[in-house]
Structures are given as C-alpha cells and as structure tokens.
Amino acid sequence: MSDIMPTDSAYDPQSDISPTDGGPGTGFDFRNLDRRWIFLAMGLSIAIPMLRGVVFPEEPSREVLDVFATVEGLEDGSSVLMAYDYDPASKGELEPMAAAFVRHCAEKKHKLYFITLWPAAVPMLQKNIAILKREYPEYTYGEDYVNLGFRPGNEGVIKVVVTDLKKLYANDVDGTDLNELPLTTNLKNIQSMDLIINVSAGTPGAKEWVQYAATPFDIKMVAGVTGVGYTPLVPYVPKQLAGILGAIKAAAEYEEALLLEYPELRENPATQEGLRKMGPQLVAHILIIGLIVGGNVIFFTDRKRGV
C-alpha cells in the first residue's frame, strides 16, 4: 500500500521537481512530473474554452426537470421564499442557478421573499434582486418582492420564522417596518409559502431548511446546492425535497429548461451563464480523466515491470 500512497512530501507546494529531473538517464519522466505543469494544463483547459466561448448543448435531466416543474407548476403569483444561503466563496458555483430561479419566478409573477442565514450572503441577495430591477421593472418592491436580509441564529432563525416571522423580522433589510409593506402586512410566518427555494453552500442551508421547515410543517421545497453538498441531500428527494440541483451542471440544465419554456430569454446573454461555464468544465473533466487514466497506466506498467 505504501508504494501507491503519496507521502506527505508529495503534497509539499515547495517541491520543485523539474520534468527533466526524473532520474539519471530517464529524460522526460511522467513519474516525477512537476505538479505545476498539471496546474498549468488545468488552467489552460479552463481558460482556452472560456476565451473561445465554447458552449456545448445541454439536455435537462429528469432531476432538473422535477425542480423546474415544481416552480412552473405553481399558480402565477404564488408566494415563494427565496432562501439564499451562500457567500462570495461559492458564487461561481451557485450564482447561475440562483439567478435562474429568480428569472423563472419572475416569469411566473411569483411573490418573492428573499432571506438568508449567512451574514456574507446579503450582497448576494442584492445581486439577485438587481436582476428583478434590471430585467423585470414591473416588479415593485414591497408589493412583488421583499428583501428580509440576514438575522443571526442559524437554524434557530428557521425555528422562529416558521411560526412567527415578525418576532425576528420586524423590518426588512433597509429598516422598513414590515407592517408598512403590502406584501408582508398580513404575513405571519413562512408556513403560508407555496414553495421554499433554497440555494445553499453549506451549513446552515438546505439540510436545516428541510429539518426545521419543510419536513415538520410540510412546506414544499426545492434546493440548489454545491457539488460538495449534493450527495448527502439526495436521500431527501422526493418526499422531503421536491427536487435538487447539484452544482453548475444542474444549473446549466435548469437554464436550458428555462430557455426552452421561455425562448424570449435567449436574447439576454446573462440567462446563459451556467451554460457558458460548462464548456471549460467539460474540457477540464476530460483532462482529469486523462490524467487519472495516464497515472493508472504508468502505475500498472511499472508494477508489471517490477519497478
């Protein structure tokens, strides 16, 4: 086992083994390839397709269509809680799906309540609300959407807002009394929501919304999560979660589903951020697969030769 497991020194970023330092008489040796060549190859595999604008066709999977159908299936003007729990560190992965959810809800004229459990997510909420202001000027603040902002307390916040929202949220993010906004005047708690859409980068996030809101109060919920957070949430589908989007691939598929249903959105390049990011993603994946296969070929060849 020890001969195949990398030693600690193999992960030393200071390591400076040159491609030509493979050993006496070996010349260029992949066994001792400087990891920085791999980093460079990875960088190029992402940069070149991005600069060339490579976009591959996407076909929405059944899992993505389940999420899409949940939002689409609501009556126009339904109440949707937009619980966006992600910060700038994961915006690259989650922003396309968060924006796609906003556009989809706006096309359906849903009433949107933005909320977050992450302190650093407030600018993310503002960025998504900017989509409404820019692309859907008919959406009026306080009547069609409201930004509740952040409150500290992690899942404790969910525990409270699910029974008495105004106990924690007396004001919106700008300090306006919620009783003065038409959308929230009669809002008691989030049990009256027709759907919770959660975009989550970790804890607190989708798991907590399932545990403290969707499951005990039987509120319909869909989620979009990072790649890291996807697999642990899959067991909640379909009973506790109507559907889940996993990482940028699902975001691109959701965008495609949205564009198929609302073709006029295709004129806006911002609606295809996820699709554009899948080009570099595919090339980088091919590189990784190639490196894994290559590494294994070298390993088994060496073992066969008794090296």
Give the footprint of another protein on residues 9-48 (CB under 8 A).
13-14, 16, 18-21, 34, 36, 39-40, 42-43, 46-47
Structure tokens at 1: 């086992």
19 versus 135: smaller Cβ distance to another protein: 19
- Any alpha helices (H) in the chain, and if so which ranges? 35-52, 62-73, 91-107, 122-135, 155-161, 165-168, 206-209, 215-217, 227-233, 247-261, 273-305
Residue pair 199/100 in contact (Cβ under 8 Å)? The answer is no
- The correct pick among 168, 189, 202, 262 for binding another protein (CB under 8 A) is 168
Instruction: Say how far apart CA 58 and CA 65 lie, in whole Å.
Output: 13
Instruction: Say how far apart CA 43 and CA 249 lie, in whole Å.
Output: 19
Binding segment for another protein (CB under 8 A), chosen from 22-30, 75-83, 188-196, 225-233, is 225-233
13 versus 25: smaller Cβ distance to another protein: 13
Which burial class, exposed, middle or buried, applies to 267 when counting CB atoms under 10 A from its CB (0-12, 13-18, 19+)? exposed
Shortest Å, Cβ 305 to another protein? 27
Shortest Å, Cβ 74 to another protein? 22
Residue 75 DSSP one-character state: P
Report if residue 263 touches another protein, rule: CB under 8 A: no
How many residues touch another protein (CB under 8 A)? 76
Report if residue 230 touches another protein, rule: CB under 8 A: yes
Instruction: Say how far apart CA 265 and CA 275 lie, in whole Å.
Output: 14
Report if residue 210 touches another protein, rule: CB under 8 A: yes
Number of helices and strands in the chain (H, E): 11, 6
H or E element at residue 80: strand 79-85
Instruction: Say how far apart CA 164 and CA 189 lie, in whole Å.
Output: 5
Residue 112 falls in which region: left (phi positive, over 0), alpha (psi -120 to 50) or beta: beta
Q: Which residues in the 89-148 window bind another protein by CB under 8 A?
A: 89-93, 95, 119-120, 122, 130, 140
Q: What is the SS3 assignment for 198? A: strand
Among the listed residues 31, 198, 23, the one whose alpha carbon sits nearest the alpha carbon of residue 116: 198
- The correct pick among 55, 65, 291, 298 for binding another protein (CB under 8 A) is 55
Shortest Å, Cβ 261 to another protein? 22
Report if residue 204 touches another protein, rule: CB under 8 A: no
Shortest Å, Cβ 182 to another protein? 6
43 versus 290: smaller Cβ distance to another protein: 43
Rg (the chain; Cα; Å): 24
Report if residue 155 touches another protein, rule: CB under 8 A: yes
Binding segment for another protein (CB under 8 A), chosen from 69-77, 88-96, 103-111, 192-200, is 88-96
Shortest Å, Cβ 63 to another protein? 12
- The correct pick among 26, 31, 52, 56 for binding another protein (CB under 8 A) is 52
- The correct pick among 69, 72, 109, 151 for binding another protein (CB under 8 A) is 151
55 versus 65: smaller Cβ distance to another protein: 55
62 versus 304: smaller Cβ distance to another protein: 62
Binding segment for another protein (CB under 8 A), chosen from 64-72, 105-113, 179-187, 296-304, is 179-187
